Amino acid sequence: MAANWKMNKTVREAQEYTAALLPRAADAEGVEVAVFAPFTCLSEVARMAEDSPIIAGAQNLYFEDSGAFTGEVSVPMLQDVGVGAAIVGHSERRELFCEDDDVVARKAARVVEARILPVICVGETKEEREASPDGMWEKVSGQVRRVMEELDNPGGGSLVFAYEPIWAIGTGETATPEDAQDAIGRIRDLLKEIGGDDFAEGVRILYGGSVKPDNVGEIMAQRDVDGALVGGASLELESFAQLVEAAQRTVRSDG
Ligand code: PGA
């Protein structure tokens, strides 16, 4: 269960949230919890989460290690403060900051090489979905393929994909559980085709887009959905803690 705070929270707010989340995450056996914090409070979240089940994650990174790249943060800098995961290619980065598939693929490769867990985001706009009978898949399969081309035989467990239909992000419009399963099941099938069954079963695939405590159960119940990447509903500690608890119920019911 992944919280994406986006451009929210001061250091003090991040400290209070993390302190309150730590015992709730510790109780959620079998659920991996990640908090993707802004750079300004990331080292603090990572310090507080050290030796805990919470993974401190970055929302972005640059694929070069150092140099004249004003405003960017590199993978060694993230490693220096104990970051364990990074979002790569979030649709807001792709749309608002012009990140194309090549840049996203290079970022993913650098993160995997550093043994940081990438959360690679893919997804289509409403226009793309409606442009042709299989508009969703034309876009999403191309995004997944481009990332996979750049990776050098990764283990399935070293990768996380997040299917986030852009029309469902921050809009309150959630994809139906069947839409989520359809896209995520097809991503899994494509990964099988590329890397074989064991590889594809090891990859965790999340759904993202207006996930909330009252819809997470039916989304998580879908066969291929391994978790959720949550923006708006992760900002309040109580609502994110409820999502973590809902994920744990799914883990229990799966045996
Ligand atoms: P949302 O954002 O939960 O606010 O829709 C999800 C995301 O962008 O990761």
Atom of ligand 1 nearest to the CA of 212: 3
**Average pLDDT, stretch 109-123?**
98
E-assigned strand segments in the chain? 2-4, 33-37, 54-58, 85-88, 117-122, 160-163, 204-208, 227-230
The yes-or-no verdict on residue 201 having pLDDT over 80 is: yes
Contacts of 242 (CB under 8 A, 6+ apart): 213
pLDDT of residue 170: 85
How far is the C-alpha of 182 from the C-alpha of 137, rounded, in Å? 10
Residue nearest to atom 1 of ligand 1 (CA): 231
Q: Are 2 and 57 in contact (CB under 8 A)?
A: yes
Q: Please write the tens of the pLDDT for every residue from 132-142.
A: 999 999 999 99
Residue nearest to atom 6 of ligand 1 (CA): 231
Q: Are 45 and 57 in contact (CB under 8 A)?
A: no
Quote the percentage of the chain above a pLDDT of 90.
95
Q: Are 206 and 160 in contact (CB under 8 A)?
A: yes
Least confident window among 28-42, 160-174, 202-216? 160-174
Give the end-to-end CA distance of the chain in Å, rounded to a whole number: 18
Token pair belonging to 240: 């994110």
Confidence of residue 254 (pLDDT cuts 50, 70, 90): confident
Q: Is the dihedral of CA 48, 51, 52, 56 positive or negative?
A: positive
Residue nearest to atom 7 of ligand 1 (CA): 231
Going by C-alpha positions, the residue among 205, 207, 206, 217 that lies closest to residue 247 is 217
Please provide residue 56's backbone torsions phi and psi, each rounded to the nearest 5 degrees: -85, 130
Supply the mean pLDDT for the chain. 96
Q: Are strands 54-58 and 227-230 parallel, antiparallel or unpaired?
A: unpaired
Q: What is the 82 CA–ligand 1 centroid distance (Å)?
A: 24
pLDDT of residue 58: 98
pLDDT of residue 32: 96
Residues framing ligand 1 (Cβ under 6 A)? 4, 164, 169-170, 208-211, 229-233
Q: Is the dihedral of CA 123, 224, 103, 49 positive or negative?
A: positive
Residues annotated as part of the active site: 90, 164
How far is the C-alpha of 61 from the C-alpha of 49, rounded, in Å? 20
Q: Are 13 and 3 in contact (CB under 8 A)?
A: no
pLDDT of residue 90: 98
pLDDT of residue 255: 59
pLDDT of residue 126: 94
How many whole angstroms from its chain centre is CA 8? 17
Going by C-alpha positions, the residue among 106, 58, 121, 63 that lies closest to residue 84 is 58
Q: What is the 52 CA–ligand 1 centroid distance (Å)?
A: 25
Higher pLDDT pick, 251 / 73: 73
Q: In a 3-state reduction of DSSP, which class is residue 92?
A: helix
Token pair belonging to 216: 């997470």
Q: Please write the tens of the pLDDT for every residue from 165-200.
A: 999 998 888 889 999 999 999 999 999 999 999 999
pLDDT of residue 200: 98
The yes-or-no verdict on residue 66 having pLDDT over 90 is: yes
pLDDT of residue 131: 94
How far is the C-alpha of 39 from the C-alpha of 60, rounded, in Å? 9
How far is the C-alpha of 243 from the C-alpha of 88, rounded, in Å? 22
Given ligand 1 and candidates 97, 120, 210, 240, which is best to mutate, with the most ligand atoms within 8 Å of its CB? 210
Q: In a 3-state reduction of DSSP, which class is residue 28?
A: coil
